[in-house]
A and B are shown apart, each in its own frame.
Chain A
Amino acid sequence: MSAFLDRVLVQTQDFSVPDEYARIADDNSDGAVVTFIGKVRDFNDGSAVTDLTLEHYPGMTEAVLNQIAVEARERWPLNKVTIIHRVGTMALGEQIVFIGVTSAHRKAAFAACEFLIDFLKTKAPFWKLEAGDQGKNWVEAKDADEQAAKMWQK
């Protein structure tokens, strides 16, 4: 059942938030729809960023995202789960990632959405290459992201 309700995509093209919302929000047994959109911002660690390139590990990425969705379902009573992550080069302000979760109640939907992005950031094989005034730099993994993911293990 979960496979039917999970939508996991890794793609270069942009996604439409209204379309993705409509896709997950059509079930009247759900009282809560929580979405998160990650965007390319114009700074990181005090330096200007002009664009961002996302690399990934084809095959493994999709498997990890599906596994994370399964883990979220084991923790909370969820209905629909969507994870869309873009790869390739994105300009400032562009959308990078979409997480959408529906549930009968808001607490489960909020918690699952946060869990999904925390786990995605630390478990899914994506790497960010930032371009800026100083040239190109691979983004370093943050301890704070690892700590956020570990919080869910308690």
Chain B
Amino acid sequence: MINVLFFAQVRELLGENALKVEASDSTKTAEDLRAQLAAKNDKWGKVLASDKLLVAVNQTISSWDTPVEDGDEVAFFPPVTGG
């Protein structure tokens, strides 16, 4: 299972802050995981299609071609705005 987290607008728009995902056979990268989640329904498809969406794999901001596998923590969130 992959532990998936959502933050800020992404969390609010999806109405979810975390879920566990059984990776499909074709889920090899962060982009594949995004596509798998986006296929859930129209709302998820729209929110996760944002070109500003960022991904962190195991708590490091990562590129979309970063490999993901069972046991990983993958977070999706918008650009950060602290400080």
Contacts and interface: CB of A to CB of B under 8 A. Distances in A.
Contact-residue bracket for chain A = 20 to 34
Given A57-B77, A138-B8, A141-B78, A126 B83 contact: yes
Contact of A126 (B9, B12, B59, B81): B81
Interface residues of B, number: 18
A139 B7 CA distance: 13
Interface in A83-134: 85, 96-97, 117, 120-129
Interface in B27-83: 52, 56, 59-61, 75, 77-83
B82 A121 contact: yes
A59 B82 contact: no
Interface in A7-66: 38, 54-57, 59-60, 63
A121 B82 CA distance: 5
B2 interface: no
Nearest to A10: B82
Given A138-B8, A138-B12, 14 more contacts: A38-B83, A54-B82, A56-B82, A57-B5, A59-B59, A60-B75, A120-B82, A125-B80, A126-B80, A127-B77, A127-B78, A127-B80, A141-B52, A141-B81
Interface of B: 5, 7-9, 12, 52, 56, 59-61, 75, 77-83
9 contacts: A60-B59, A97-B82, A121-B81, A121-B82, A127-B77, A129-B8, A138-B12, A139-B81, A141-B52
Give the 8 A-B CB pairs with smallest separation, nearest first. A126-B82, A141-B79, A127-B8, A60-B59, A121-B83, A139-B81, A138-B9, A128-B81
